[in-house]
Structure 1
Amino acid sequence: MPSSDAAATSPLLQTLLNHVQLLDPVTWLGPWQCFCCGVLATGLRLSDLTLLDGVKFFLACGLIGPLLTGFSQSINDYFDRHLDAINDPERPIPSGRISLSAARANFTLTGLLALGNMSLLYVITGSLLILILGIAGLFLAYAYSAPGFRLKENGWLGTTSVGIGYCLVPWLLAAHLFSREPGFPSFHLALGVVNALVAMGLITMNDFKSIEGDRKNNLRTLPVLYGERGAMLIAFAEINLAQVIFVITCLLFGYVTIGWLGIAFFVPQLVQQVQLYRAPNDSRLLESIGRNAAGRSLVSQSQSGAHPGFIRFLVGSNLLTVTALTAVSIVHGYWH
């Protein structure tokens, strides 16, 4: 009987794991988070769920995570293989664990499955907006990396496309699939924009890890254009603008208590930003993550070595997520 170690290193399983790594499952969490918050914000309760709602939720989670986001990561790895050879040589393509033809097959199949998924959602709901949102997300994922567009070569266009594709599209998809109101109420539009701005700040910080390769290849990311601290200030401004819009939205819709809660969460976020700006390469938090097996699975050594402060910023900015989850819970009476 083969041992578990032998099974774990079998060629078929290793090939499958390499293809999954190309889809970068960790990156699915952000879009899923936006989608789930968007569902909560519609006021949908467990007692109101129908079998159709369950099917829509399952299909939408597959579309947003493994398919749209996975397609984005896979095609980005393919067209950025020369950059990854410098910035992240452990990735499947530069390390030689996946051939170029296999990588093309990966993102082609993922893109086709995304089209099939959104078409099925269209058949179930009869809403053309589902197709429009899905195709918009797929196009942005392609345009971000592919030649002819290469939005990522412009720091402003690249971060904006990520914010829209990873956060605004999932939130609006949730609002359209589960809201009992037609179209997109202004409340959902505002919170979708809030999440998009957060994503723009995070992707700006994430670009620090590849700043060396980006400079060599003349990519005009924000850290390359404005330097480390200049790009930090841009990221902080985007995150803080998101928090301001969130608070104003709550106050305009009459949720005064939640608005004050947003302000309360804003304070530690500002403190964390000041600390990061003063010591951007403080690696103490990252080292504590690296000592944990789960942490090592989420953060590659090349990422951690390039810009340790990104992890601290990610943790600090997620205070906004706590605010959003708390807000939609109180708004719709999940807490009594």
Structure 2
Amino acid sequence: MSTAITHPPRHLPEPRAMLTLIKPITWFPPTWAFLCGAVSSGVALGAEWPMVLLGMILAGPIVCGMSQAANDWCDRHVDAINEPHRPIPSGRIPGRWGLYIALAMTALSLAVGWLLGPWGFGATVVGVIAAWAYSAEPVRLKRSGWWGPGLVGLSYEGLPWFTGAAVLLSGAPRFEIVAIAGLYALGAHGIMTLNDFKALEGDRQHGVRSLPVTLGPEVAARIACTVMALAQLLVVALLVIWGKPVHALAVFGLILVQLLAMRRLFRDPRRHAPWYNGTGVVLYVSGMMVSAFALRGLA
């Protein structure tokens, strides 16, 4: 069993560890989704770029960063097994500083969300609640291999997309925007399931019932990819129905390339899951932007 890598005792967090704690690599999906929402709204972005930029910063570095800090604090015992080099179990962020950082960023999220108006603030409240519900006891939806990835997919893709459109429209987005955002959020359930592969051993020991733990890596990988593919195929179907065949064809082409990548994933899911998350996901989010421009044309 792995043990935490210890560093000399500290009283204050190591600055570099604080950046590691909020995981900049995870900021891209919600930032991109907010931009997709802004594009899909049909509103001219030229005059609205300060609001769009603020929303992207809120969705990525602030709210997503806060969720990562909260997750690492709540997962510190699991991380001591899976990834003992992480900031909290390694001691580079000592004591309860991980919790203090998560709480401070929660307050910052709400303050910046307020600047985006009622729709932006309301969505920020939902995002903050979702982040803590995923990681913290007694709710800790992360324990479920179904509810946990679903909540993260909604928070990373669906909610930011909805927010980007709502902020620019100063009102509720139309049905087409909500439908496409919802489908991409559904498909992101598969992305989050594949992300669970890296924590397989620690999750098993600490009772986190992720799909790789409960069903095994092979079955979990096939379920994840099926969810991702079906969600995108429904997007293609809707784009065809709404008179956007060229955009539908582009998304379908991206799905075909993903299917080729999935074949490699299935050969050894535990080994290739990180590779697929860096390859197939790029194709997935590319389809999101194609769909956003299709929706823009419907405005």
TM score, norm. by length of structure 2: 0.89
| Counterparts in 2 of 1:98 and 1:317: CA distance versus 1, 3 Å | closer
RMSD: 2.1
- Specify the alignment match of 1:243 in structure 2: 232
Which residue does 1:39 correspond to in 2? 38
CA contact (8 A) 1:78 1:100 kept: no
Matching residue's letter, 1:320: Y
Residue number among 190, 214, 222 corresponding to 1:201 in the alignment = 190
> Which residue is equivalent to 1:278?
267
Determine the structure 2 residue equivalent to 1:24: 23
Which structure is richer in relative contact order (CA contacts within 8 A, separation 6 or more)? 2
Q: How far 1:112 moved relative to its partner?
A: 0.6
From 49, 56, 60, the counterpart of 1:54: 49
Output the CA distance in 1 between the equivalents of 2:273 and 2:229.
18
Q: Residue 136 of structure 1: which of 101, 107, 126 is its match?
A: 126
- 1:221-240 map, 5 Å: 221-240=210-229
Task: Measure the CA separation in 2 of the matches of 1:313 and 1:77.
Answer: 20
Q: Distance in 2 between matches of 1:178 and 1:331?
A: 14
* 1:68 correspondence with 2:63: yes
Indicate whether 1:322 and 2:280 are aligned.
no
CA distance in 2, matches of 1:173, 1:24: 22
How far off is 1:40 after superposition? 1.4
Letter in 2 for 1:30: P
Indicate the residue corresponding to 2:101 in structure 1.
Answer: 106
Give the Å deviation of 1:280: 2.7
In the aligned structure 2, how far is the partner of 1:324 from the partner of 1:161? 19
- 1:121-155 deviation per Cα after TM superposition (whole angstroms, max 9, x unaligned): 22xxxx3x323211110000001010110000011
Amino acid at match of 1:43: G
Contact 2:71–2:135 (CA under 8 A) maintained in structure 1: yes
Letter of the structure 2 residue corresponding to residue 139 of structure 1: I
Q: Matched residue pairs, number?
A: 288
Aligned ranges 1:255-266 → 2 under 5 Å:
255-266=244-255
How many Å apart are 1:183 and its aligned residue?
Answer: 1.4
Are the counterparts in 2 of residues 163 and 199 from structure 1 also a CA contact under 8 Å? yes
Q: 1:56 to 1:323 in 2, by over 3 A?
A: same
| Deviation by residue 1:302-335 (Cα, 9 ceiling, x = unmatched) | xxxxx443222441232222233234446647xx
Cα deviation 1:41-78 (Å, max 9, x = unaligned): 122345xx32xx23322321222112211111001100
Output the CA distance in 2 between the equivalents of 1:199 and 1:330: 20
CA distance in 2 between partners of 1:93 and 1:40 (Å):
38
- For the 8 Å contact 1:68–1:114, the answer to whether it is kept is yes
* Paired AA for residue 268 in structure 2: A
TM-score (normalised: structure 1): 0.80
- Separation in structure 2 between the aligned mates of residue 250 and residue 60 of structure 1, nearest angstrom: 27
**CA distance 1:327–1:104, shift in 2 (3 Å):** closer
Task: Indicate how the Cα distance of structure 1 residues 331 and 155 shifts in structure 2: closer, same or farther if over 3 A, else same.
Answer: closer
Question: Which amino acid in 1 is paired with 2:233?
Answer: V
Counterpart residue number, 1:8: none
Indicate the SS of the match to 1:100. Answer: coil
2:90 aligns to what SS in structure 1? coil
Q: 1:148 aligns with which of 138, 158, 162?
A: 138
User: The residue matched to 1:99 in structure 2 has which SS?
Assistant: coil
SS class of match (2:27)? helix
Cα distance in 1 for residues equivalent to 2:223 and 2:69: 28
SS in 2 for 1:155: coil
Q: What are the Cα deviations for residues 83-118 of structure 1, in whole angstroms up to 9, with x where unaligned?
A: 111111111001110113211211111001011111
Q: Is the 1:276–1:313 contact (alpha carbons within 8 Å) kept by the matching residues of 2?
A: no
Distance 2:147 2:290 in 1: 31
CA distance in 1 between partners of 2:210 and 2:269 (Å) = 18
CA distance in 1: counterparts of 2:282 and 2:246, whole angstroms:
20
Structure 2 equivalent of residue 170 of structure 1: 160
